[in-house]
A and B are shown apart, each in its own frame.
Chain A
């Protein structure tokens, strides 16, 4: 990642995310009353976050790879099933992954 790309992402993301928030406070309520739009909007975070789990946990560049990160993800999943709080989930995944990384 180049320095320019990093700054571009930082600035453009910040501007767009703020603009979106401001739009919500400014436009008339009925603009977003469309049921289809609301349905899609509710599903977008689910699809994106699912894809991000895959991209970060199972992919290296353009290859699907199974490595120490998967062990961390499995433990995170178990922690979520056990209703563990967010920090516990993340730390458990990190510790597991680090252990597998060093053992391997």
Chain B
């Protein structure tokens, strides 16, 4: 028969990976019947099995007969659903198991969360039977509220981009392809100020370097490969990293959920609102007459503000502002922005 091992972690917030380490899995597992595998190797069996309740005589394979449990819809999410296909009988053959338990030692042999592959479906469960989903649900709630709020800033970017002289299409492509707010603002800001392309690119790229540090923090948590790694890299921004880290008390599964849901959510909302902002600015005309030329620096101020956590950082900001003002008359348009990075380098090199 086909067997599904559905883990319900009533107390343990983490996925099977932690359970395997602690070696107390069986305490959290209730083994129920039936199904499911994301393992392509067993897909034909699953299809046969799905057919079998309705043709439970001649067409069904003998070992699949009378197995009504198979009619349950396959659970595609694999966050906590571990799967196996094994023969009934006294012996479990290791060859046939996509996933198996080492019963004697009561440990999970393989972690179902690592089986997942495919770039755009984060491993989240919403069903009520799992303790993990409670944690994940809380993480999803946090993520969506952040995603919607932050995504709405896209209006400001779309408008700023159009005001700087980019087309609606280019503005939308910025949000789709660059997808890191401060860098996008910087690129269009420098171009809007009449700067050269190289200044815009370097300012945006320098602002994007912090995403590399975020990636370093997120990589061991997400452990993505191939296409999924490309997706996780693209979604690595302030917000997805921030929400993921903030979910630490709820466990690694909630952290992963936080990353994927926030990243995907911000991506969707950010792009929708960019389009709205760009179209809005396009239809409004002269940026100065409705205050867009002040909205852009105000947006930068709004991005800067939360970073000024202590008096040292506030001093760095003040020095940078003075420095930018002083060098402005002496340099070509756009260059003062990138030159001000010198302040960060000098201070960072010498401080402490």
- Seen from chain A, the residues whose Cβ lies within 8 Å of a Cβ on chain B are 1, 5-14, 16-18, 20-27, 29, 32, 36, 38-59, 61-64, 68-69, 71-73, 76-77, 80, 85-87, 89-99, 101-102
Contacts and interface: CB of A to CB of B under 8 A. Distances in A.
B336 interface: yes
A13 B294 contact: no
A49 B307 contact: yes
A12 B201 contact: yes
Contacts of A16: 201, 204-205, 208
Interface of B is mostly: helix
A81 B68 CA distance: 64
Contacts of B185: 52
Contacts of A98: 288-291, 294
A68 B294 contact: yes
A48 B190 contact: no
Contacts of B325: 54, 58, 64
B223 to A, nearest CB: 10
Interface string B171-199: 00110011110111111011111101100
B66 interface: no
Nearest to A1: B165
Given A47-B320, A97-B293, A17 B213 contact: no
Contact of B183 (A13, A55, A92, A101): A13
Given A21-B215, A21-B234, A10 B296 contact: no
9 contacts: A5-B196, A14-B178, A36-B349, A45-B182, A51-B320, A56-B296, A68-B293, A86-B149, A96-B294
Interface string B313-339: 100111011011100110111101111
Given A17-B211, A36-B348, A47-B344, A5 B197 contact: yes
B245 interface: no
B236 interface: yes
Interface in B270-291: 288-291
B291 A95 contact: yes
A72 B291 contact: yes
A62 B316 contact: no
Contacts of B224: 25
Nearest to B340: A51
